[in-house]
Amino acid sequence: MTVGSEASYDVVIVGSGAAGLTAALNLAERCRVLVLAKGGLSEGSTAWAQGGIAAVLEEGDSFADHVRDTMVAGAGLNDRDVVEFVVEGAPAAIERLAALGVPFNAGEAAERWHLTREGGHSHRRIVHVDDATGWAVQQALERAAALNPNITLRPHMVAVDLVTGRHAETPSADRRVRGVYAVNKETGRVELFTGRATILATGGAGRAYLYSTAPRGATGDGIGMAWRAGCRVSNMEFMQFHPTCLYNLETKNFLITEAVRGEGGHLRLPGDGHRFMPDFDPRAELAPRDVVARAIDHEIKRLGLDYVHLDISHLAPEFVEAHFPTIHAKLLGLGIDMRQEPIPVVPAQHYTCGGIVVDRNGRTDLPGLYAAGECTESGLHGANRLASNSLLECFVFGEAAAKHILAHADDLPPPPPIRPWDESRVTHSDEEVVVHHNWREIRRFMWDYVGIVRTTKRLERALRRVELLRAEVDEYYGHFRVTPDLIELRNLVEVAGLIVRSALARRESRGLHYTLDYPEMLPNAVDTVLTPPAHG
Q: Of the ranges 48-56, 73-81, 299-307, 514-522, which one interacts with ligand FAD (CB under 6 A)?
A: 48-56
Residue 214 or 356: which CB sits closer to ligand SIN? 214
Question: Whole-number minimum distance, CB 351 to ligand FAD, in Å?
Answer: 6
Nearest CA-CA partner of 201 in 181, 223, 234, 168 = 223
Sequence letter at residue 257 = T
Our separate counts of H helices and E strands in the chain read 14, 19
390 near ligand SIN, judged by CB under 6 A: yes
| Strand, coil or helix: 186 | coil
Q: Could you tell me the sign of the dihedral formed by the alpha carbons of 264, 128, 381, 90, in that order?
A: negative
Among 9, 10, 11, 15, indicate the residue that binds ligand FAD (CB under 6 A). 15
C-alpha span between 45 and 135 (Å, rounded): 9
Residue 84 or 174: which CB sits closer to ligand FAD? 84
258 near ligand SIN, judged by CB under 6 A: yes
- Say if residues 132 and 323 touch (Cβ distance below 8 Å): no
Residue 258 or 508: which CB sits closer to ligand SIN? 258
Site string for ligand SIN, 351-380 (x = CB under 6 A): x-----------------------------
| Strand, coil or helix: 199 | strand
- Binders of ligand FAD in range 211-230 (CB under 6 A): 213-214, 217, 221
195 near ligand FAD, judged by CB under 6 A: no
Which of 409-435 are b and which e, b meaning 16 or more Cβ less than 10 Å from the residue's Cβ?
beebeebeebeebeeeeeeebeeeebb
> How many Å separate Cα 370 from the centre of its chain?
16
387 near ligand SIN, judged by CB under 6 A: yes
Residue 174 or 263: which CB sits closer to ligand SIN? 263
Residue 257 or 384: which CB sits closer to ligand SIN? 257
Query: Which residues neighbour 239 within 8 Å (Cβ) at sequence distance 6 or greater?
Result: 206, 209, 349, 351, 352, 353, 450, 499, 512
- Binders of ligand SIN in range 128-187 (CB under 6 A): none
Query: Which residues neighbour 189 within 8 Å (Cβ) at sequence distance 6 or greater?
Result: 183
Among 17, 51, 382, 451, indicate the residue that binds ligand SIN (CB under 6 A). 51
Active site residue 289: yes
**First CA to last CA across the chain, in angstroms?**
33
Question: Whole-number minimum distance, CB 387 to ligand SIN, in Å?
Answer: 4
- In the set 289, 363, 465, 506, the catalytic residue is 289
- Say if residues 177 and 162 touch (Cβ distance below 8 Å): yes
Nearest CA-CA partner of 279 in 264, 260, 266 = 266
Nearest CA-CA partner of 175 in 190, 159, 164, 163 = 164
248 near ligand FAD, judged by CB under 6 A: no
Q: Which residue is nearest to ligand FAD (CB)?
A: 17
Q: Of the ranges 9-17, 163-171, 402-410, 411-419, which one interacts with ligand FAD (CB under 6 A)?
A: 9-17
- Say if residues 113 and 55 touch (Cβ distance below 8 Å): no
Residue 54 or 157: which CB sits closer to ligand SIN? 54
Among 46, 78, 150, 257, indicate the residue that binds ligand SIN (CB under 6 A). 257
Q: Of the ranges 96-104, 201-209, 255-263, 439-447, which one interacts with ligand SIN (CB under 6 A)?
A: 255-263
The contact set with ligand FAD (CB under 6 A) reads 14-20, 36-39, 43-46, 48-53, 133-134, 157-159, 201-203, 213-214, 217, 221, 255, 351, 373-374, 388-391, 394
Positions in the binding site for ligand SIN (CB under 6 A)? 50-51, 257-259, 351, 387-388, 390
Q: What positions carry a catalytic annotation?
A: 289
